Amino acid sequence: MGKSRIPFLSDAELSRWKTRARRFLVRVRQVVPPGGRLVLGVLLMMGGLLAFLPVLGLWMLPLGLAVASLDVVPALRWLRGGR
């Protein structure tokens, strides 16, 4: 059992979670239109703030940030005149 940076996850489990997250973000990029990704990300982050409710949780905050960044990062590069 390898040592990962997260104490309660092994290297294999951490790798599996990273793969799932990458697959999810690729799927969101393919299916959801550009403006919708930002809205979806903000809604996920707002749901993460309601973590005291049974279905919603803190897991929604980083997921919402990742989904919203799919639109924000390219927009910031475009505004700065970058590639």
* Residue 41 falls inside a structural domain: yes
Residue 24 gets the label, from left (phi > 0), alpha (psi -120 to 50) or beta, of alpha
Token readout for 57 is 């949780």
Structural domain containing residue 76: 11-80
The mean per-residue pLDDT over the stretch 39-49 comes to: 89
Q: What is the pLDDT of residues 52-67, one digit of tens each?
A: 877 778 888 888 888 8
Residue 5: which pLDDT band, with cuts at 50, 70 and 90?
Answer: low
* Residue 3 falls inside a structural domain: no
pTM of this structure:
0.68
* Residue 70 falls inside a structural domain: yes
pLDDT given for residue 83 in this prediction: 60
* Residue 64 falls inside a structural domain: yes
Residue 1: is its pLDDT beyond 60? no
* Total tally of structural domains belonging to the chain: 1
* Residue 1 falls inside a structural domain: no
